[in-house]
Amino acid sequence: MADGATVTRKFDIDAIRAEFPILSRDVNGKPLVYLDSAASAQKPQAVIDCFTNQMSHAYANVHRGLHTLANETTSAMEDAREDTRRFLNASDVHEIVFTKGATEGINLVANGIAAQIEPGDEIILSVMEHHANIIPWHFLRERHGAVLKWIPVLEDGQLDMDAYEAAFSDKTRFVAMTHMSNVLGTATDAKRIIDIAHARGVQVLLDGCQGAVHLTVDVQDLDVDFYVFAPHKLYGPSGVGVLYGKREALEALRPYQGGGEMIETVTMDGATYGEIPHKFEAGTPPILEIIALGAAIRWYEQFDRADVQRHEKALYERAFDAVRQINNLTVHGTAPEKGSVLTFSVDGAHPHDIAQILDKYGVAIRAGHHCAQPLMTHLGVSATARASFGIYNTAEEVDTFVEALSKTLRMLG
């Protein structure tokens, strides 16, 4: 558990599901089976109530006001920063930057290091990165002459660590790597990735959009320089992201955006910028979303993370054992250490058709390239189908999914 977090609840799947109002609805006359949490998770009543209560009783702009509502709202937002610090086990709340999303967090770091990038400097990525952890580095390739070096994955979806270690040269300047793949479910050996890079004086950013949900994250133990995650995948709101950075790493970055809040002084001749994290939080932040993020973290921290991980692993294994019996179906990503993401393709059946027909049975999955086109190319497919499991899913829902998938494939011939 993260420093300061306290387990207060026994893992009771029925009680958990009762806290998610949307799970009681029907879709196309069938009970909703929501298996798309890797894209965005549903929200518990605690998060929904947080929005309502904050808007109803204590909303104002933050930090600059002197009246009661401004002070109450500022306090609630900064409490959420402390919740986030605790969740990641950062050493200091000033190392927590709130952004408009995890994507913005990665762009913030890429923009911040751009001044240090010269033509020929190398940035190491893996082929299983989400586009959010690819395009900002392509900007540095296009605009500053950076060279992107791609690390392949092994047949089971594990990162090729030998290739990773061999990729470093005296021109390597940065590593940007997923903590857990949104397609393969692969949990990378993050600590080893970081140790190898640090031994060569290279900083590392981890994309934790899946890792923060399904793995236990301790940024101090990892010794990672930057870590981003998306609260909307952690049963929290969209429209907000988290960037953790070591104090010295953040202080070395130039500001990403200019405007109110991020300054210290402004004159007609120049400006000086605020201290971290505020120099990266220009303008009015997503106030309600940040406060609701705190509510999501506090809700999630009620449970023992090991209990949650066991539950999700059992769901994945139940689904995997069933679908691998289906003829012509290939599961992509079978690494020993992986999260609860089941990505598959079926010969002769387009993933979009599979997803659309499953929806008729009330089963929601994702289909497409999952914002991971380099990985699709590596796998030799244009798209895949993906069922992803969260804290609220059940064994019965897995069985419903498998039965509906079998019917769907029979219908598709």
Catalytic machinery residues: 371
Distance from C-alpha of 300 to C-alpha of 118, rounded to nearest angstrom: 43
Distance from C-alpha of 183 to C-alpha of 131, rounded to nearest angstrom: 12
List 98's β-bridge partners, or say none: 242
CA angle 123, 87, 223 (to 5 degrees): 40
Nearest to 151 by CA among 208, 205, 193: 193
Cis previous bond, 255, omega within 30: no
* Cβ atoms of 369 and 379 closer than 8 Å: no
Element (H, E) at 75: helix 68-88
Long-range contacts from 395-400, C-beta under 8 angstroms, 24+ separation: 395/314, 395/315, 395/318, 397/33, 397/35, 398/315, 398/318, 398/319, 398/322, 399/318, 399/322, 400/31, 400/33, 400/361, 400/362, 400/363
* Cβ atoms of 38 and 388 closer than 8 Å: yes
In total, the chain counts a number of residues equal to: 413
| Encoded amino acid at 188, one letter | T
Radius of gyration of the chain (CA): 22
217 Cβ partners below 8 Å, 6+ apart? 2, 87, 88, 89, 179, 208, 211, 227
